[in-house]
Homo-oligomer: A and B are copies of this chain.
Amino acid sequence: MRKPYQPSINDIKLTTVLHSLSDPRRFQIVKSLQENKEQNCAVYHDLMPKSTLTHHLKVLREAGVAKVRIEGTQHFYSLRLEELEQLFPGLMPAILQVKSELIE
């Protein structure tokens, strides 16, 4: 299986990152990845239809917010927090600490 596209650190741009985080469903995925470090994306199938999930994970991956590790047929997602911190100091901590009632 061909590895899905994910940008190198030099190709991650702020407006694309902000856009990827501006959807409440994607934000929900990001919060869950923050808590669980690495997650088999199958766990999200209860939260939303598979096609919706596939789309949102693609947006997060292509923005450079999440990365994927493939093991057989399973896709494991995690956040690229260290790289994002290097590029945009303080941004992800500020976003991830926001109280849930202020998200949407």
Using Cβ atoms and an 8 Å threshold, which residues of chain B touch A97?
Answer: 89
Give the contact-size bracket for chain A: 20 to 34
Number of copies: 2
* Stretch in A21-29, A32-40, A44-52 touching the partner: A21-29
Using Cβ atoms and an 8 Å threshold, which residues of chain B touch A91?
Answer: 91, 94-95, 98
Using Cβ atoms and an 8 Å threshold, which residues of chain B touch A15?
Answer: 21-24, 27, 103-104
A87 to B15, CA, bound (A): 21
A12 to B90, CA, bound (A): 21
Q: List 5 A-B contacts (CB under 8 A).
A: A15-B103, A89-B94, A89-B97, A91-B91, A91-B98
Using Cβ atoms and an 8 Å threshold, which residues of chain B touch A72?
Answer: none
Using Cβ atoms and an 8 Å threshold, which residues of chain B touch A98?
Answer: 14, 87-88, 91
Neighbour of A90 across the interface among B16, B90, B102, CB < 8 A: B90
Using Cβ atoms and an 8 Å threshold, which residues of chain B touch A16?
Answer: 22, 104
Asked if A90 contacts B88 (CB within 8 A), the reply is no
